[in-house]
Homo-oligomer: A and B are copies of this chain.
Amino acid sequence: MHKIAILGAGYMGGAMTFPLAENNLSVNLWGTWLDNEIIDSCQKGIHPKLKKALPDSVNLYYSRDLKKAIEDVDIIFIGVSSDGFLPVFSKVIEVIDKNYFFFTLTKGFVNDNGKIQRISKIASKLFYNKFAKEEFNWSSIGGPVKALEISKNIPTVSIYGTKNKEMENMTELFSTESYRIVTTDDVIGVELCSAFKNVYSMAMGMLDGIYKPSQEGMYHNFSSLIFNQGIIEISKIVGSAGGNRETVTNFAGIGDLYTTSQSGRNRLFGELLGKGVSPNAAYRKMLSSGELAEGYFTLKHSMEWLASLNSGILYDLPLFKIIYDIILNNKKPLEELKGLSQIYKK
């Protein structure tokens, strides 16, 4: 019988306890050093982000108890933010003395001593540094999954990318009536779709900020243009990085950008910008209420990563460049986004 530890007790870590507990799997939920209050609150009965109690069977662990949280499990889900990935995964590798199956929900890029890397790449490096002769058992998880909705049994499909047949089969143990799983061996594709949808959804949010107050529902041509261009660019990125463009169509890209464009923290961050709030002020405003817009970091980090991938790729990513200019060079959202349409023939 498999036993599971989930690292990171925020939205996604908390939400994943629901399908896993429904399948009668033993689940340890470990909070990072930033999650102490969440664990406190869960102890008292309510997950403060999900605003409901976690399943009774879930065992809670504070950050100081990482070793205890993982010592008797064989599967580790990682649900920390991209910022937290490197410190948490390094600590995991430090304390473990056997192999695990790693499933990661973290989305984005990691800064490894100044070099921007995909998460699966840095994780594999850290793993092999210690376990040179072991197999690195890894899956990147993506797809249109809002954590709150998992905890409410809204029908959901997630995509698990793994090259490991045993892990692919394992996914059947995680899925439930409402939480369904599709699998692919395209880890890179899943990983990049998950990361970049956070970037493109910020542009969708900007349109909401610009138009919603005055033109409720009257800017769908524009939002569809941005949405579709986002998918085109995510496909190009996935293809350039050696992933499979089919993955973009298989829930990791289209479905996930859809859900992220309808609601969530990255859309909200974009909306604030569309309303005229400066990127720095918007970022601080969200952080002060404990919300992190991952897309902001992905945007910052991925510019460098994209250039290292293919120095000419930015010419094929006009929307990415516009989002970058708006958020990191303080350009005006409406003017820049309107400019996008000029790439199509007149």
A residues near B (Cβ < 8 Å) are 144-146, 148-150, 152, 154-157, 171-172, 175-178, 180-183, 215, 217-225, 227-228, 231-232, 235, 249-251, 254-256, 258-259, 262-263, 337-338, 340-342, 344-346
Considering the chains assembled together, what is the distance between the CA atoms of A147 and B248 in angstroms?
A: 29
The smallest beta-carbon distance between A249 and chain B, in angstroms, is 6
The smallest beta-carbon distance between A168 and chain B, in angstroms, is 10
Copies of this protein chain in the complex = 2
- The A interface is mostly helix, strand or loop, or mixed, namely helix
Contact B345 A175 (CB under 8 A): yes
Name the B residues within 8 Å of A217 (CB-CB): 262-263
Name the B residues within 8 Å of A177 (CB-CB): 346
- Given A154-B218, A172-B346, is A225 in contact with B255 using a C-beta cutoff of 8 Å? yes
The smallest beta-carbon distance between A265 and chain B, in angstroms, is 13
Question: Given A144-B228, A155-B341, A156-B221, 6 more contacts at CB 8 Å?
Answer: A150-B221, A154-B222, A155-B337, A157-B221, A175-B344, A182-B345
- Of the candidates B146, B176, B231, B338, the one whose C-beta lies within 8 Å of that of A221 is B146
Considering the chains assembled together, what is the distance between the CA atoms of A227 and B262 in angstroms?
A: 12
Contact B144 A221 (CB under 8 A): yes
Contact A228 B344 (CB under 8 A): no
- Of the candidates B149, B225, B249, B259, the one whose C-beta lies within 8 Å of that of A156 is B225
- Of the candidates B149, B225, B249, the one whose C-beta lies within 8 Å of that of A232 is B249
- Given A218-B149, A346-B175, is A251 in contact with B225 using a C-beta cutoff of 8 Å? yes
Name the B residues within 8 Å of A218 (CB-CB): 148-149, 152, 154
Name the B residues within 8 Å of A155 (CB-CB): 221-222, 225, 337-338, 340-341
- Of the candidates B176, B178, B220, B235, the one whose C-beta lies within 8 Å of that of A144 is B220
The smallest beta-carbon distance between A308 and chain B, in angstroms, is 26
Considering the chains assembled together, what is the distance between the CA atoms of A172 and B222 in angstroms?
A: 20
